[in-house]
Amino acid sequence: MIALGLEGSANKLGIGLIQHDMTTSPPTVTILANVRHTYHPPPGEGFLPKDTALHHRSHILELIRNALADAKITPKEIDVICFTKGPGMGGPLTSVATVARTLALMWKKELVGVNHCVGHIEMGRQITGAENPVVLYVSGGNTQVIAYAEKRYRIFGEALDIAVGNCLDRFARVLNLPNDPAPGYNIEQLAKKGTKLVDLPYTVKGMDVSFSGVLSYIETNAPALLASGEYTEADLCFSLQETVFAMLVETTERAMAHIGSKEVLIVGGVGCNMRLQQMMDQMASQRGGKVFATDERFCIDNGIMIAQAGILAYQTGYTTPLEKTWCTQRFRTDEVFVAWRE
């Protein structure tokens, strides 16, 4: 069984092809293709929905062609077409869904609308082999601490305002760091040279976290701190990372204690930050546990994760009828019925 996955909820456009060999139990999973094209706005700017949608429309057909060539398959061999239904930016989502629908009708395939967050979780589980982890989903648009219980991925804690990745990305704009390959990546590299810790607001409210205060503080004070010569840009990147990651480690640890799990799975674009993985690992090893993470191929938004989550749902008999293939900017992780897990 082969699934085509199309993802374009933010500035990454990803196409993936995954194969599940159903003759073995559990099915043997093979990644046939995983290609991506990223929209990079100029330094100091974020990606706007209209420009991002145009980027996706301009590159999606070439990317699908590349994916089919990588996998060395023809459309006939595809069983199901999976696309991101939400959450994400409306214009980019709808552009990608429009192509998914057109292909499905031309090729006479079923469609499966996938929740982007569930895509991240299922890809992380597949790649790392984590059994029943607490999931930390951290990206430019989402920050959630998740655990599975009774057919749902339940949200234990989340960001009350902006996502952690958004906080990092927007600070990168203050420093005019390039958006290529990713603003957060450039912060991570700069932070390695930082030595002095600036005291920043630390906001954990129960299981939830807040990043808008720390962003406002550092945005407001960065010019003066840098002008004083006391702190460098590297020190500020270092301080911001240490502070926001500590907040994430704290809430993740509380979720682990609550459900009695010793595994942590980190997914989402911020999940490939090595410093976050390191801090999480320190916490987990103190509890006799383990951290599972993936590299940028699977952490950062991609098409293969949509194909993976979609094919799992499809195997349980789930499809999305054409008239319900509209996209939605708001689609919570716990809305999805996880029929494929015990």
> Residues forming the annotated binding site for a divalent metal cation?
116, 120, 137, 301
Listing from the earlier edge strand, what are the strands of the sheet with 290-293?
152-158, 143-149, 134-138, 263-267, 290-293
Provide, rounded to whole angstroms, the least separation between the CB of residue 102 and another protein.
4
Provide, rounded to whole angstroms, the least separation between the CB of residue 30 and another protein.
23
**Shorter beta-carbon distance to another protein: residue 251 or 325:** 325
Provide, rounded to whole angstroms, the least separation between the CB of residue 162 and another protein.
25
Q: Minimal CA–CA distance to 119: which of 151, 162, 87?
A: 87
Provide, rounded to whole angstroms, the least separation between the CB of residue 106 and another protein.
5
Residues in the site for another protein, rule: CB under 8 A? 57, 61, 64-65, 74-76, 94-95, 97-99, 101-103, 105-107, 322-323, 325-326
**Residue 138 one-letter amino acid:** V
**Shorter beta-carbon distance to another protein: residue 73 or 259:** 73
**Shorter beta-carbon distance to another protein: residue 78 or 130:** 78
Binding site residues for substrate, as ranges?
137-141, 169, 184, 188, 273
Provide, rounded to whole angstroms, the least separation between the CB of residue 76 and another protein.
8
**Shorter beta-carbon distance to another protein: residue 90 or 201:** 90
92: buried, middle or exposed (CB in 10 Å: 19+, 13-18, 0-12)? buried
Q: Minimal CA–CA distance to 71: which of 3, 160, 143?
A: 3
Could you list the beta-strand ranges (E) of the chain. 2-7, 12-21, 28-38, 80-86, 110-115, 134-138, 143-149, 152-158, 204-205, 208-209, 263-267, 290-293
User: Cβ distance 210 to 260 under 8 Å?
Assistant: no
Strand partners, 5: 16, 82
**Shorter beta-carbon distance to another protein: residue 55 or 170:** 55
Strand partners, 209: 159, 204
